[in-house]
Structure 1
Amino acid sequence: MMESENKDIFIGSPGSRGQPAFFSSSENIYKLKVVLIGDVNVGKTSLAVRFSKDKFEEKYQQTIGASFISKIAIVKSDVIHFQIWDTAGQERYKSLVPMYLRGAHIAFVVFDITDPGSFAHIGFWLDALRHHCDMVTIVLVANKCDLQSAVDEEMALTYAEEHGLQFVTASAKTGYNVERLFHSIGSKVVDKLKSQTVTSVVRDGNSRLCTGNQPIHVEKQDTDTRVKKKKCCKT
């Protein structure tokens, strides 16, 4: 994906943290675990399916526990294996979500711009992330931007900045910003991983390269990389 293709992605302040990726010594594939969390019916499954299969359906069966979707993509010069966990948003399954958060490199906290309640519950999902993920890049995703918004975008952006999150508007229905979302964030995480100095490398039982038991700590950037905000897409 060429850098110029990222020009329309709306991202708030960086405020992200990285985690070591494991990659095949022969294929040099970076494996990134991505989790999608948020209330029921915010479009988590739709985002995952739009990215992995480039299709959209008006209705999906509600996710029970979590579903897994995998996609390998070439981003810039890197081969990234996105391992996507789409978690359930129903109240009765919330206690199961933490088990899917462990070891995540990227977390998309999704809300529905037509449902203010889903935005109000973001704090719950952030608390779950920060209790169960030591290091993860967190992105606040405002989904369904092809519809009339009931959530003020400036308020959502301010919330993201105050909590050190990146902010992206997207539409699983039209595909707007979905591929860019995964590619841009995935590429940034991989770039941060590659920028670290690995002092000791060991091979595990699967002949994969890893950085041992110590996580790679990524320094938080102070630079605001947010692209000038534009209006959300419309149908």
Structure 2
Amino acid sequence: MSKNSDYKVIMQDDVISLHSIEDIFSPNRSKSNSSFVNKNQQQKRFNEVHEYNIAVMGISQAGQTSLCKRLSKNTFSKTKHTTKQDKYVAYLESVNVKLNLYDLVGMRNQNIIEENQTVIRGSQYAFIVFSVVDPNWHQQVINWISFVKCVNKQCAIILIGNKTDLDTNCVNYFDPFSKWNGINSLIKCSAQTGENLQQINNIQWIEEYDFEEIHGKC
């Protein structure tokens, strides 16, 4: 599979961002695969628009599509697709960051697996979405983590625990899980209410990225 950012397998851009976004692509990318959400210090605002590709994946019914819609259009909808990959565009004005959110499909067959691999190879970040009220989230999240690391070791993984509006007392054990699996980024939020999504602004957005040095086993 190609290691560039050519997304020929992705459905066309049919989602309008909430914000007005210039069609700018910055070459600023990084070789580092470390990323963290700094809860105490806001990410500095870039002087120029920095653009990042985000592979968004997750457990069934976890709300990954709702998350993409909340970030791109500031709306909530339970309507979800099941057969195709979609692209959403969001703009984080406070840090001058443009996000290309690629909403992946579950691993149904080899063609979809290869399409997901293509997206991940061309992404600087992966959002792995799970529901904080799903008692069986552990193994499925581990499977997605392993898949991303296998395809692109440089892709910075961010775990997103969605649906905190359904249970506000369920967040204590997610942090140890993240650290145990080598993930330094965890956001607990609600796509339905928008609660805590501002933490995405505080992700340490990498400055430079070299797609030529992507290494993976898949």
* Same fold by TM-score greater than 0.5: yes
Matched, 1:100 2:119: yes
The answer to whether the Cα contact below 8 Å between 1:110 and 1:143 also exists between their aligned partners in 2 is yes
Residue aligned with 1:32, SS: strand
1:140-219 aligned within 5 A: 140-148=159-167, 152-165=170-183, 166-178=185-197, 180-185=198-203, 188-190=204-206, 193=207, 213=212
Q: Which runs of 5+ in 2 are unaligned?
A: 1-31, 36-46
CA RMSD of aligned residues (A): 2.8
Amino acid at match of 1:189: W
Matched, 1:137 2:153: no
Structure 1 residue aligned with 2:7:
none
Structure 1 residue aligned with 2:66:
46
Give me the whole-angstrom Cα distance separating, in 2, the residues matched to 1:44 and 1:155: 21
> CA separation of 1:117/1:89 partners in 2, compared to 1, >3 Å: closer, same or farther?
farther
**Rg (Cα) greater in structure:** 1
Structure 1 residue aligned with 2:90:
71
Give me the whole-angstrom Cα distance separating, in 2, the residues matched to 1:211 and 1:152: 38
Amino acid at match of 1:97: N
TM-score (norm 2): 0.67
Measure how far apart 1:175 and its partner are: 0.3
Give me the whole-angstrom Cα distance separating, in 2, the residues matched to 1:117 and 1:214: 35
Structure 1 residue aligned with 2:137:
118
Identity, in percent, stands at 21
Give me the whole-angstrom Cα distance separating, in 2, the residues matched to 1:212 and 1:66: 22
> CA separation of 1:152/1:72 partners in 2, compared to 1, >3 Å: closer, same or farther?
closer
- Summarize deviations over 1:141-186 as a string: whole Å, max 9, x none: 110000037x9533221110112211111000000112x133222x
The answer to whether the Cα contact below 8 Å between 2:120 and 2:155 also exists between their aligned partners in 1 is no
The answer to whether the Cα contact below 8 Å between 1:107 and 1:138 also exists between their aligned partners in 2 is yes
- Summarize deviations over 1:74-126 as a string: whole Å, max 9, x none: 234xx222111111236458624222211211111111112122333111101
Matched, 1:34 2:38: no
Matched, 1:56 2:63: no
Q: Which runs of 5+ in 1 are unaligned?
A: 1-14, 19-26, 195-209, 216-235
Matched, 1:81 2:94: no
Structure 2 residue aligned with 1:224:
none
TM-score (norm 1): 0.63
Measure how far apart 1:189 and its partner are: 1.6
The answer to whether the Cα contact below 8 Å between 1:38 and 1:118 also exists between their aligned partners in 2 is no
The answer to whether the Cα contact below 8 Å between 2:129 and 2:161 also exists between their aligned partners in 1 is yes
- Summarize deviations over 1:12-60 as a string: whole Å, max 9, x none: xxx9527xxxxxxxx9321101111112211001111111111112x21
The answer to whether the Cα contact below 8 Å between 1:40 and 1:90 also exists between their aligned partners in 2 is no
> CA separation of 1:86/1:212 partners in 2, compared to 1, >3 Å: closer, same or farther?
closer
